[in-house]
Structure 1
């Protein structure tokens, strides 16, 4: 999940485990130049990891990690495409399954797969021509969340399905991030496409007629406009994650004040990869190896509010009850996303800016 946002934003700023760059100013040919013991990892703004975990990596390998945050996963991917001829980092974390094929098709990534991987990783890996460029690290279900306390106070039954969101009973109550500016927003668009097929534009017209608010990003939708997001929002229905509710348990309480609608979920997988032309590819490979270990995987839920791709990793207390994954998330094949993503986004933008 991406809450609580104050902790998340504070940690999403570029974090540096400081070390001097080795080999700067060398006249050696690039191929013979020793790799720096500092690697640069490009991430989205939601990166957050326990400093002790990163310090353990440095202690084990002698390699330190410098982080660069580049906005949402979509903005991150676009930045990497624009700078592919002069890579701004050694590797990337946070490209997800809605943007993975774009990064691969644009030649942003070098092939690398860790030799030792948890068996469950296979179910999250890219296949076919896309295989081998990105390593799955975590996943989350992007779902509609509702403020149960608000609905109880209004004595109104909360929505349960996509159809319900267009019901006049919920007029002006829904807020979502935009599909062109947010990877969760794109995931929601894909969920509606997977649900309604060729009729998805009619469904979005119904949402617009019912007063859906479209924000630039997840943090605006959840933390500002959502009634349970910590601000003074007036929208009790929001797009977030199935892992969001446990973080709304009030102090002294034992149940969250929100819930996720598991029939509205799209599964989002996040990957890590080595950038083509990276200055320190071998050391970046070592960090990707580390990200698949039990130590890093076990730290993901509490730090990034996502599920580890090593499904044998124990989850935090309460997640089994309050943050279950969707039993049947909406699926849109990666090949179809690749083929139609640009058209879908253009059509969505035209529809929502009418």
Structure 2
């Protein structure tokens, strides 16, 4: 298994799974969401999808997403056969880059749909008018309870597709070899015992970095997070521009020649760092540093083919796609009954109580927090 993400997280390292936690989180909402989204796109013989003819004669659906979007070719072929559309994937960088590009091009949209917008940026895109809020992708009754901590109120045009957790990862073999106990909390990372051992990610350029910044804000508060970051830098923390650089270049267990045994990554990452016999993993997560990310899909305002965009969103919620997401992109599907890979089941675990920052607070203060962070770390 190899990682392929530059969204701030990765395809190789990422998700984990404590089935009871996952089911408690998702119970009741996902099935209804799937049913509603499929109904919204139309399933009758007269629908564009059923006839294979998109509105205005357009037969191509362009989806703007992050660079590491990755689903099996057979599934994409089935989508094209079933709907009559040709699927074009417009990879546009990290998740944060995708959001910025969509905002800058909102008057001339880059595609028909977007996938990969997470809860750190959803409200911003909605406020900027990037997402088509008139598209009939409304969530059903009861789904709001399931989504409440992770979705902005009154945003029916964005549909949850998958979720994961950003958190600190450690190279357990490195710590064993060096006779040092791994850290377990945010505070540990500023201890001199871990000087020059931690690599973080820039929140102004990476959605993974932004998620971790929000986790520190949720833990230390608006008045305390800046000092925490000053302490991290004083303790030798390195800050990379993106997740891929941090994980694959600087992390000791990332496959390269890294020198940092502590990294910001995903709760699923240990499922991809297995020993040769697959019996154990060489990394572990710090669950007390975890923050939940939910990824959404929606139709873009001004899309040339909004019907095709809606068909894509519905397809992402189909059982076949939901069951492909864990292996392909190392995120948890929102369908609680979708099967997970053996590796995710055995070697990953989501936090029982992940840090959640209110979406309204993110929307209101994100730029202010980023400026405070930049000043604190000297960037």
TM-score by length of 1: 0.89
Contact 2:108/2:302, CA 8 A, preserved across alignment: yes
Q: Deviations over 1:8-36 (max 9, x none)?
A: 57x99xxxxxxxxxxxxxxxxxxx97241
Q: CA deviation at 1:320?
A: 2.8
Q: What residue number does 1:64 align with?
A: 86
Q: What residue number does 2:36 align with?
A: none
Q: CA deviation at 1:58?
A: 1.1
Q: CA deviation at 1:177?
A: 1.1
Q: What residue number does 2:231 align with?
A: 206
Q: What residue number does 1:287 align with?
A: 312
| Structure 1 segments of 4+ aligned residues over 4 angstroms from their partners | 115-122
Establish whether residue 123 from structure 1 lines up as the match of residue 146 from structure 2: yes
Q: What residue number does 1:321 align with?
A: 346
Q: What residue number does 2:2 align with?
A: 4
The residue correspondences of 1:338-353 to structure 2 (distance < 5 A) are 338-353=363-378
- The number of aligned residues is 330
In structure 2, the CA distance between the partners of 1:218 and 1:301, relative to structure 1 (3 Å rule), is same
Match of 1:301 among 326, 331, 345: 326
Distance in 2 (CA, whole Å) between partners of 1:147 and 1:242 is: 13
Q: Which stretch has the larger CA shift, 81-90 or 112-121? A: 112-121
Q: Deviations over 1:241-260 (max 9, x none)?
A: 00010100122231110011
Contact 1:118/1:292, CA 8 A, preserved across alignment: no
Contact 2:55/2:307, CA 8 A, preserved across alignment: no
Q: What residue number does 2:44 align with?
A: none
Distance in 2 (CA, whole Å) between partners of 1:35 and 1:339 is: 41
Q: Deviations over 1:127-183 (max 9, x none)?
A: 423x21211111100010000000000010000010111111000000011010000
Q: CA deviation at 1:329?
A: 0.5
Distance in 2 (CA, whole Å) between partners of 1:313 and 1:117 is: 20
Q: What residue number does 2:121 align with?
A: 99
Q: Deviations over 1:322-348 (max 9, x none)?
A: 111111000100000011001000111
The residue correspondences of 1:213-232 to structure 2 (distance < 5 A) are 213-232=238-257
Establish whether residue 186 from structure 1 lines up as the match of residue 186 from structure 2: no
Match of 1:133 among 151, 157, 172: 157
In structure 2, the CA distance between the partners of 1:119 and 1:138, relative to structure 1 (3 Å rule), is farther
TM-score by length of 2: 0.83
Q: CA deviation at 1:118?
A: 11
Unaligned runs of 5+ in 2: 12-53
Contact 1:39/1:63, CA 8 A, preserved across alignment: yes
Distance in 2 (CA, whole Å) between partners of 1:276 and 1:225 is: 39
Match of 2:169 among 145, 157, 170: 145
- What secondary structure does 1:279 align onto? coil
Distance in 1 (CA, whole Å) between partners of 2:257 and 2:178 is: 17
Q: Which has the higher contact order (CA 8 A, sep 6+)?
A: 2
Distance in 2 (CA, whole Å) between partners of 1:105 and 1:150 is: 45
Contact 1:121/1:310, CA 8 A, preserved across alignment: no
Q: Deviations over 1:62-111 (max 9, x none)?
A: 11210111111111011001000011111111111101111000000102
Unaligned runs of 5+ in 1: 13-31
Q: CA deviation at 1:38?
A: 1.0
Q: Which stretch has the larger CA shift, 162-171 or 246-255? A: 246-255
- What secondary structure does 1:348 align onto? helix
Match of 1:247 among 253, 269, 272: 272
Match of 1:161 among 174, 185, 198: 185
In structure 2, the CA distance between the partners of 1:263 and 1:113, relative to structure 1 (3 Å rule), is farther
Contact 1:72/1:182, CA 8 A, preserved across alignment: yes
Distance in 2 (CA, whole Å) between partners of 1:66 and 1:43 is: 11
Distance in 2 (CA, whole Å) between partners of 1:176 and 1:224 is: 12
In structure 2, the CA distance between the partners of 1:245 and 1:117, relative to structure 1 (3 Å rule), is farther
Q: What residue number does 2:360 align with?
A: 335
In structure 2, the CA distance between the partners of 1:350 and 1:150, relative to structure 1 (3 Å rule), is same
Establish whether residue 271 from structure 1 lines up as the match of residue 269 from structure 2: no
